[in-house]
Structure 1
Amino acid sequence: MRTVGPPTLLTAQRFATASASLRRDSETARIELSTGRLADLPAALGGRIGEASSLRAALDAIAVRRQGLQQADLVAAASQRALSAIDEGARPLATDALAANGRGDNAALATAALEARSRVEAAFSNLNIKVAGQFLFSGDATDRPPLAGADALIADVEAIYAGAADAAALDAALDFYFDDPAGGFQTTIYRGGAGPAPSIEIAGGERGAFTARADDPSIRDVLRGLAVIAAAGAAPPSALRDGALSSAGAVSLDGTDGLIARRTDIGVEERRAAEALTGLDDEEAALTEAYNAATARDPLDAATRLQALEAQLNASLVATSRLSQLTLANFLR
């Protein structure tokens, strides 16, 4: 039976402690070699740690700002696509409906009515888009879609058309429905918030808006014109129908002009965000260079230190292994 004497036990304990320390140091050296950066900044930099901490904080702040600008770009791009799709669908249809109405082409008007219904549904789908967990056109109520069903809007306009005595009465009823806060559009169709969509910081505390609300006047005009074309285009010829289609075409075109203006506003903010992102890239490059200079670990020194530590660790493990093989007889010799 092997027995270890007290001196050997104490020596073995010292070797075990030394080996554990060498393992930790070797792991630190290995990390420094793989990352190219000092592992323990406070110990390595001493009084210069404040400078490195400030640089790191500045780089972290840039990362947050970059995330915001990337979010702005995502929101703006999605908003532009949605508004562009609505414009491209409504403008040619309104033009065709006006032309067909002018020449009394009932077949073309019936086709326009069907297409108008489809365009209303597509517009609702575009305006109810959700990006990064938020509904873009819901104003400050980004947790819910901004619009109810397209069928509800068309049904309301069909009822208004059916109840109108003439074109003037129809326009008055439509004005109330779409433009008055107590009208049907605001009370039953639009479900977004009353405030603007959350703005996003661009630079130096300046913020920008990268979308619009689904109850924007230009959007309401487009939806109004399309819904009236859908309702009146399929109706029998009459002075009411002619007046309704003439007004609907003009309102739709006014609305698409407004959409272009909204897209231009968003485009201006997009350019500002892109310029800010470029400036952020330059700032980040300068800060990264300074931070690397302050915290970088020379790869040759790191490799040399790792090799030395691993050699010491191997020697310590060999010595510990030999101690464990000692017997009482060997100890007494």
Structure 2
Amino acid sequence: MGWTISRVSSLQLNQFNRQHVARATEALQRAGQELATGVKADLFADLGPRAAIALTLRAREENTQTYITSNQLLDSKLEAMLASVDAVRGQANDVLKNTLVNASRPSTGANALQSQARAALESTIASLNISYNGDHLFSGTASDRAPLTRWEEANANTGLSPQQALLDIVGSGPTTLPEVEAMIDKIDAFFDSSNTADPDRNYEATFFNGTPLLDASGGASNRVSARIDEGQKLVYGVQANDQAFRDTLKGLAMLSVTDVSEIDDEAVYARWMEAVNNALSDGIQGGLQSASAIGFNQQVVAVTQTQLNDMSLVQRTQISNYESVDPYEAATKVSNLETQLQASYSVTARLSQLTLLNYL
């Protein structure tokens, strides 16, 4: 009786079968992952050189999403700024209605103007001192601190309160035309920050704490800005030391430190009220321009957001084309690999039961 001995040993056959099972198991795991996630498990192996394109697209998409998120925050800031500016205008307008009625001589409601102006002044300061996510919106680039000192609160740098600075100018109130003109000039110098004789008695020293309008070299200070897209920057800073707010605060302050109903001289009264009305009117008009500028910036952000969302859609579609797998193809691949593994396991089990004694 003769024997035929195979050149492949049972050990080699077993090892070969184990390697095949290991490769099939790994392939099944990868196919299962692709079926579950919908994307290729090994991007570089599947795409080769084209994987670099997919990675570039993904980096662009991440950058786009960063702009979209930051623009959403910016839009919320602009909305809060617009609400505050409108509130300031509304408060000033309510006072102006009564000052116009009492423009030439005290009449209806003149004795209540001081208390009304004081309440409007406090509300205006509160509106301009708002913050969003820790940033004070009307402080300019110095957004870590509130832009305005409270009316009766002493400024930490000058030791003066805005109220005291104005009371030192007005005293018990104007009594003659030369006196009223001198007071108005000093009040203008305070709110224009042009008092060089006593720098502490300036709006940007005692009242305003944010970024000055002019830097140390005398040039315009940088305004708050944001990059809303690649290569597109939006300057949107509105500050509490802009002319509109200084005019509004000046008109309200002049009423707050003086009970105009007690001014006896008609000419003095009319001149004081003329200055108050001019300041409030200029402030309201300037506030309207500020509100329009904020609204325009909101439109710019909205248009940019639309463009970014459209770009994101295109990029995500392109990324999907590179990275996604066909779910039906992935399911078929999983099914085929499962069948192969089942067959391999079956053969392995049958081989493990075979011995030489079975043939003797």
TM-score (norm 1): 0.82
Cα contact 1:221–1:251 (8 A) shared by 2: yes
> After the TM superposition, which of the residue ranges 175-184 and 49-58 deviates more from structure 2?
175-184
Match of 1:188 in 2: 206
Please state if 1:229 is matched with 2:255: yes
Match of 1:4 in 2: none
For residues 112 and 344 of structure 2, the distance between their equivalents in structure 1, rounded to whole angstroms, comes to: 90
Aligned CA distance change for structure 1 residues 310 and 120 (closer, same or farther; 3 Å): farther
Across the aligned residues of Structure 1 and Structure 2, the Cα RMSD in angstroms comes to 3.2
Cα contact 1:79–1:211 (8 A) shared by 2: no
For residues 55 and 223 of structure 2, the distance between their equivalents in structure 1, rounded to whole angstroms, comes to: 36
Structure 1 counterpart of 2:181, which letter? A
Query: Where do 5+ consecutive residues of structure 2 fail to align?
Result: 1-9, 153-160, 213-220
Cα contact 1:101–1:109 (8 A) shared by 2: no
CA-CA distance at 1:85 after TM superposition: 0.6
Structure 2 counterpart of 1:270, which letter? Q
Aligned CA distance change for structure 1 residues 232 and 30 (closer, same or farther; 3 Å): farther
Structure 1 counterpart of 2:209, which letter? R
Higher RCO by CA contacts (8 Å cutoff, separation 6 or greater) = 1
Give SS of 1:207's match: strand
What is the number of residues matched between the two proteins? 319
Following superposition of structure 1 onto structure 2, how do residues 81-160 of structure 1 map, counting pairs within 5 Å?
Answer: 81-105=83-107, 108-151=109-152, 152-160=161-169
For residues 274 and 229 of structure 1, the distance between their equivalents in structure 2, rounded to whole angstroms, comes to: 41
CA-CA distance at 1:319 after TM superposition: 9.7
For residues 202 and 138 of structure 1, the distance between their equivalents in structure 2, rounded to whole angstroms, comes to: 21
CA-CA distance at 1:94 after TM superposition: 1.4
Please state if 1:246 is matched with 2:247: no
- Identify which of 210, 215, 230 aligns with 2:241: 215
Cα contact 2:247–2:283 (8 A) shared by 1: yes
Cα contact 2:106–2:261 (8 A) shared by 1: no
For residues 133 and 148 of structure 2, the distance between their equivalents in structure 1, rounded to whole angstroms, comes to: 19
Give SS of 1:150's match: coil
Following superposition of structure 1 onto structure 2, how do residues 1-333 of structure 1 map, counting pairs within 5 Å?
Answer: 25-105=27-107, 108-151=109-152, 152-162=161-171, 166-181=179-194, 182=199, 183-194=201-212, 195-233=221-259, 236-239=262-265, 240-309=268-337
CA-CA distance at 1:315 after TM superposition: 7.9
Give SS of 2:233's match: strand
TM-score (norm 2): 0.76
Query: Where do 5+ consecutive residues of structure 1 fail to align?
Result: 1-6
Structure 2 counterpart of 1:272, which letter? V
Aligned CA distance change for structure 1 residues 224 and 310 (closer, same or farther; 3 Å): farther
Structure 1 counterpart of 2:184, which letter? D
Q: Which has the higher helix share?
A: 1
Which of these two proteins has the greater Rg computed from alpha carbons?
2
CA-CA distance at 1:247 after TM superposition: 1.1
For residues 159 and 29 of structure 1, the distance between their equivalents in structure 2, rounded to whole angstroms, comes to: 83
> After the TM superposition, which of the residue ranges 215-224 and 110-119 deviates more from structure 2?
110-119
